[in-house]
Amino acid sequence: MSDPLANIRTLLVLVPALPLLAAVVTAVLGPRVLKSRAHWPVVLGLGLSAIVALMLLAEVNRHSRNMAHDSKLAATGHVTLWRWTGIPDVLATPPAAAAAMEKAHTTPPRMLPFDVDVTLRVDPLTALMLSMVTFVSFLVAIYAVGYMHGDRSYWRFFAYVGLFVFSMTMLVLVSNFLLLYVFWEAVGMCSYLLIGFWYQKPEAAAAGKKAFLVNRVGDFGFALGIFLIWITYGTLNFHDTTLSSGGVLPGVLGQIRLGDASLYVPGGLATAICLLLLVGACGKSAQFPLHVWLPDAMEGPTPVSALIHAATMVTAGVYMIVRCTPLFGASPQAQQVVAIIGGLTALLAAIIAVTQTDLKRILAYSTISQLGYMFLGLGTGSMLGISAGMFHLLTHAFFKALLFLGAGSVMHALGGVIDLRQFSGLRRKMPVTCWTFLIGCLALAGVLPFAGFWSKDRILAAVHERAHAVVAGYHSSFPVYEWLYWVAIGTAFLTAFYTFRAFFLAFCGPERVPAAAHPHESPNTMTLPLAILAAFAAGIGLTLEAGSWFDSFLAESPSLAALAAHETGPAGSHLHVAVLSTVVVLIGIGLAAFFYLGERTQIDRLAMWLRPVYEASHRKLWFDEVYDLLIVGPLRILAYLLSLVDRFLIDGLVNLIGRLPVWLGAVLRPTQNGLLQSYALAMAIGVLVLLGTLVLF
């Protein structure tokens, strides 16, 4: 094979191209031609894209080993589509870039260009994400055919889904911070359109706007981070590029820089960069300060929630941090903050989820909590932690999608009702949904054979190990990771509790149904994906864990190669962590069963006893109210005041100046009083004054 990576390049371009093509075809032909059959282009497109992604995964698996070491080979793995901007000699070469260039035996030029090419690259991390995204989207698309059946603008939904998958795949594929930002916001736009799909519902429109704006706040931090990276490293490209004036410009995550950790700027600047990137990640993955938009995003149709707000979009933040591991590696403080944010979010979200009554809201808070876990994993900074985070991301995608689709089929059956207080005992009427939902719950809670157990256990192990290992040179006075470990364990308990609370409330107990609804099992277009996802949720953890293929494959992606090489030590036995977490989970399930099976009296007494905690949790810890009070409210008042200032002060001043000549006129008017002789007198005086000037000059 003359060029080993030739078909990688074709597959690589094909993955995003198919959904885009599908979206365009649906948009153009949708309203008039396809009408009720508008789903076919997108379903086909996503299916093909999934297959291509899997083939790509296989190809990369074959070549990843030597791609990681042979930079020239890795370079051929890039596909440059077109040049976005190329402005010559814009930035004076910063020291970090100069040092890296010496390393690459090129004389650093005085000024660096600002070249941005639309370049796609693939490595194990990307391949993994691609396959996960496209596969889950394919299943959700099939599910949506049933769920969205009969909707007025059926074609519009599928066009948006196609556009979303294109943006997500491109986000994962591009090899430049600026383009990462481009598709970062493009994904945000698609979520805005999809959340606000039923735009006539005011709550949906408001939820869409809120989602976009909170994401925008996150992107604000992300943009600042990108600018800082550009100022310090002189380029925004991940990969190494050749300068027009000859010589190599080492990319931020390029082979040259990855080879030698010292080329990364340490200290305050690195921490600033990482924290800003973290703000972007928090915005997108709905972490603690910027998580308020995800629960509201449930207003969108359920396939959207399943696809975007469970599996794909929210994981973009995690992907970005994993991609920038070398940057985070340069500042341990930033990694610690990531861990803290992750831990804190996990705990808070779990606490809130416990008392929610809306099934989709519970699942939304559970997503936030599980993402907190992933951030926690990444925060440990060890290869074990990072691969654990990615592994959890993968498994979470499947079982959370499953749970959301399950909730969707419940809503579909009950005519749009999802409030747990209004129905119960659906197990007989909807057996498939019930059992697949149970599998999803087991996976989410982290019961032994199911996927959730393996990935969450890995994360707990990583945190445990990080808590005891003293990283050379950095020892914080406060045992942060110790505390985080126990928080993680507590969250695992809460997760198990609220998961099964939801299951028991929905499916167990006497069969009670809201008045107008007549529950029935969903059509097989909906149950088929449920079954497939259930199978994955059950099996994937075990398969990946057994072959330990996942760790080694992930370790070959360039960003993590250095980290993996650094930690070659034997993986310590984490049996006691697994045992502890299983015990905690079983206690959680037991408690849920005790409270919610049979007549549910004790829980009310408990709720009364813990009144303040219950109230706080039910009110979502008053985040929305606090934000309105502190940020939105004051800004609106300031805006109103400024508009008054504008209308009266500034405009008033301008009109005042405008009226100056008129006032001067009013002063001079009386001179013209009409009497002939006063004119004559005035003329005489005028002439005398003129004569007076004679004396002066």
Partner 1 sequence: MMEFSPQHLLLWSLALPLIGAGLICLLNDGRPQRARTIALVTTLLTLLVAGRVAFMFPANGINLESTGGAFALTDASWLGKISGLDVRFSVGLDGLSVWFYALSALLSFCCVLLSWESIHERPATFYSLLLMLLCGMMGVFAARDILLFYVFFEFTLIPLYFLIGIWGHEDRNYAATKFFLFTLTGSVLTFLGLLTVVLVNFSHTGDLTFSIPKLTAALGPVGGHPMPLHLQLWIFAALTAGFAIKVPLFPLHTWLPLAHTQAPAAGSVLLAGVLLKLGTYGFARFNLPLAPEATAWLLPALLWISVAGIIYGALVALAQTDMKRLIAYSSVSHLGFCMLGLFALTPLAVQGGMLQAVNHGLSTGGLFAIMGMIHDRYHTREISALGGLARRTPWMALFMVFFTFSSIGLPGLNGFAGEFLLLAGMFQRAWMTTGPGGLGLKVIAVLAVSGVVLGAWYMLWLVQRVFFGPLREPHGTGHGHGSHDELGHDLKQPDRPLVRDLSLREIGALVPLAVFIFWIGLCPQFFLSRMAPALQEATQPAAAAWQARQTNEAADRQTALNPRPSVPVVAETSP
Partner 2 sequence: MNELGLLENMLVVGALLFGIGLVGLCARRNMIVMFLSAELMLQGVSVSLVGWSRFHNDWGGQMLVIFIIAVAACEAAIALALLVTLFADRGSLDVTLWQSLREDNLPPHVDIEVPEPTDEEPHWPTLTPAGNQPRVDAEKQRHRTHV
Partner 3 sequence: MTTATSIQLLAPQCVLVFTAIVIFVGGAFSEGRGPWKQLGIFGLVMSGLILAQHQRAFETLLQHNEVAATFGPVSLDLLGYLASWLALGVGVLLVLQVTGTDARGPAPEVIGSLLLLVAGLMLAAQANDLVLLFLALELISIPTYVLLALARPTPAGREAALKYFFLSILSSGLTLYGFSFLYGVAGSTQLADLYSVAAGPLHAFTSLPLLVRLGVLLVVAGLGMKIAIVPLHFYAPDVYQGTSPAAAAMLSAVPKIAGVIVLVRVAAAARPDLGELGWKLMLGLSVITMTLGNVLALWQRNVRRLLAYSSIAHAGYLLIGLAVWLAVPDKSVAGSGHPVTPGLAVSGLSAALFYLVVYSVASLGTFAAIGYLGRPDRPLDTVSELAGVASSHPAIAAALALFMFSLAGLPPLAGFWGKLMLIIRALSVDVGPSAISPGVRHWFIVVSVIAVLNAAISAAYYLRIIGAMYFRPQHGAPAADGGLGTKLATGLAAVLVVGMSLYAGPALHGSDVAAESGAVPLPAAATPRARPAVAQNGQPSVAVPQLSAASR
606 contacts partner 3 (rule: CB under 8 A): no
CA separation for the pair 178, 528 (Å, rounded): 39
676 contacts partner 2 (rule: CB under 8 A): yes
SS3 content of the chain, % helix, strand, coil (to 5): 75, 5, 20
Report the nearest approach of partner 1 to the CB of residue 188 (Å): 9
> CA distances (Å), 619 to each of 39, 297, 347, 426, 616, in order?
39, 17, 16, 28, 5
CA separation for the pair 474, 480 (Å, rounded): 12
Query: Which among partner 3, partner 1, partner 2, none contacts residue 689 (Cβ within 5 to 8 A by kind)?
Result: partner 3
Query: Which among partner 1, partner 3, partner 2, none contacts residue 227 (Cβ within 5 to 8 A by kind)?
Result: partner 1
Number of residues near partner 3 (by CB under 8 A):
25
Specify which residues 241 forms β-bridges with.
Answer: 249
CA separation for the pair 620, 501 (Å, rounded): 18
* Stretch of residues binding partner 2 (CB under 8 A), selected from 144-152, 309-317, 516-524, 674-682: 674-682
Please answer whether residues 352 and 621 qualify as being in contact, where contact means their C-beta atoms are separated by less than 8 angstroms: yes
Query: Which among partner 1, partner 3, partner 2, none contacts residue 661 (Cβ within 5 to 8 A by kind)?
Result: partner 3
Residue 459 amino acid letter = I
Report, in angstroms and rounded to the nearest whole number, the Rg of the chain calculated over CA atoms: 31
- Indicate which single residue of 667, 675, 690, 691 sits in contact with partner 2 (rule: CB under 8 A): 675
Nearer to partner 1, 124 or 218 (CB): 218
Nearer to partner 3, 642 or 684 (CB): 684
Please answer whether residues 284 and 183 qualify as being in contact, where contact means their C-beta atoms are separated by less than 8 angstroms: no
Nearer to partner 3, 654 or 664 (CB): 664
* Stretch of residues binding partner 2 (CB under 8 A), selected from 359-367, 403-411, 632-640, 672-680: 672-680
CA separation for the pair 167, 183 (Å, rounded): 6
Report the nearest approach of partner 1 to the CB of residue 511 (Å): 36
Choose among 43, 15, 51: nearest CA to 139.
43
87 contacts partner 1 (rule: CB under 8 A): yes
> CA distances (Å), 82 to each of 19, 86, 117, 119, 485, in order?
20, 11, 6, 8, 47
275 contacts partner 1 (rule: CB under 8 A): no
Query: Which among partner 1, partner 3, partner 2, none contacts residue 503 (Cβ within 5 to 8 A by kind)?
Result: none
**Could you tell me how many residues make up the chain?**
697
* Stretch of residues binding partner 2 (CB under 8 A), selected from 153-161, 355-363, 590-598, 679-687: 679-687
Q: Answer left, alpha or beta for residue 452, where phi above 0 means left and psi between -120 and 50 means alpha.
A: alpha
> In 54-70, which positions are buried (b, 16+ CB within 10 angstroms) versus exposed (e)?
bbbbebbeebbeebbee
Specify which residues 512 forms β-bridges with.
Answer: 424
Q: By CB neighbour count within 10 A (0-12 exposed, 13-18 middle, 19+ buried), where does 669 fall?
A: exposed
CA separation for the pair 15, 355 (Å, rounded): 41
Residue 29 amino acid letter = L
CA separation for the pair 677, 671 (Å, rounded): 12
Nearer to partner 3, 202 or 658 (CB): 658
691 contacts partner 3 (rule: CB under 8 A): yes
13 contacts partner 1 (rule: CB under 8 A): no
Of residues 660 through 679, those in contact with partner 3 by CB under 8 A are 661-662, 664-666, 668-669, 671-672, 674, 676, 679
CA separation for the pair 59, 55 (Å, rounded): 6
Report the nearest approach of partner 1 to the CB of residue 275 (Å): 14
Mark 615-654 with x for binding to partner 3 (rule: CB under 8 A) and - for no binding: ----------------------------------------
* Stretch of residues binding partner 2 (CB under 8 A), selected from 148-156, 373-381, 408-416, 668-676: 668-676
Query: Which among partner 2, partner 3, partner 1, none contacts residue 416 (Cβ within 5 to 8 A by kind)?
Result: none
Structure tokens at 563: 């980290």
* Stretch of residues binding partner 2 (CB under 8 A), selected from 510-518, 617-625, 630-638, 665-673: 665-673
CA separation for the pair 166, 13 (Å, rounded): 11
Report the nearest approach of partner 2 to the CB of residue 659 (Å): 17
SS3 116: strand
Query: Which among partner 2, partner 1, partner 3, none contacts residue 670 (Cβ within 5 to 8 A by kind)?
Result: partner 2
Number of residues near partner 1 (by CB under 8 A):
52
Choose among 437, 439, 400: nearest CA to 420.
437
2 contacts partner 3 (rule: CB under 8 A): no
Nearer to partner 2, 675 or 694 (CB): 675
Please answer whether residues 541 and 450 qualify as being in contact, where contact means their C-beta atoms are separated by less than 8 angstroms: yes
Report the nearest approach of partner 1 to the CB of residue 60 (Å): 27
Nearer to partner 3, 470 or 690 (CB): 690
Residue 488 amino acid letter = A
Query: Which among partner 1, partner 2, partner 3, none contacts residue 437 (Cβ within 5 to 8 A by kind)?
Result: none
Whole-angstrom distance between the N-terminal and C-terminal Cα of the chain?
Answer: 101
CB neighbours of residue 202 within 10 Å = 9
- Indicate which single residue of 6, 86, 260, 666 sits in contact with partner 1 (rule: CB under 8 A): 86
Nearer to partner 2, 587 or 687 (CB): 687
Report the nearest approach of partner 1 to the CB of residue 217 (Å): 6
Query: Which among partner 3, partner 1, partner 2, none contacts residue 694 (Cβ within 5 to 8 A by kind)?
Result: partner 3
Nearer to partner 3, 416 or 661 (CB): 661
Report the nearest approach of partner 3 to the CB of residue 652 (Å): 19
CA separation for the pair 8, 49 (Å, rounded): 14
Choose among 138, 166, 191, 194: nearest CA to 536.
138
Of residues 207 through 226, those in contact with partner 1 by CB under 8 A are 208-209, 212-213, 216-217, 220, 223-224
673 contacts partner 2 (rule: CB under 8 A): yes
CA separation for the pair 485, 497 (Å, rounded): 19
Please answer whether residues 387 and 458 qualify as being in contact, where contact means their C-beta atoms are separated by less than 8 angstroms: yes
680 contacts partner 2 (rule: CB under 8 A): yes
Mark 165-204 with x for binding to partner 1 (rule: CB under 8 A) and - for no binding: -------------x--xxxxxx--x------x--xxxx-x
- Indicate which single residue of 629, 635, 681, 682 sits in contact with partner 1 (rule: CB under 8 A): 635
Report the nearest approach of partner 3 to the CB of residue 648 (Å): 23
Please answer whether residues 312 and 168 qualify as being in contact, where contact means their C-beta atoms are separated by less than 8 angstroms: yes
Pinpoint the alpha helices (H) of 508-548: 524-547
Supply φ then ψ for residue 110, to 5 degrees. Answer: -70, -45
682 contacts partner 3 (rule: CB under 8 A): yes
Please answer whether residues 108 and 126 qualify as being in contact, where contact means their C-beta atoms are separated by less than 8 angstroms: no
Tell me which residues touch partner 2 (CB under 8 A).
Answer: 669-670, 672-678, 680-681, 684
**Which residues here bind partner 1, judged by CB under 8 A?**
82-87, 89-92, 114, 178, 181-186, 189, 196, 199-202, 204-206, 208-209, 212-213, 216-217, 220, 223-224, 227-228, 230-231, 635-636, 638-640, 642-643, 646, 650-651, 654, 658
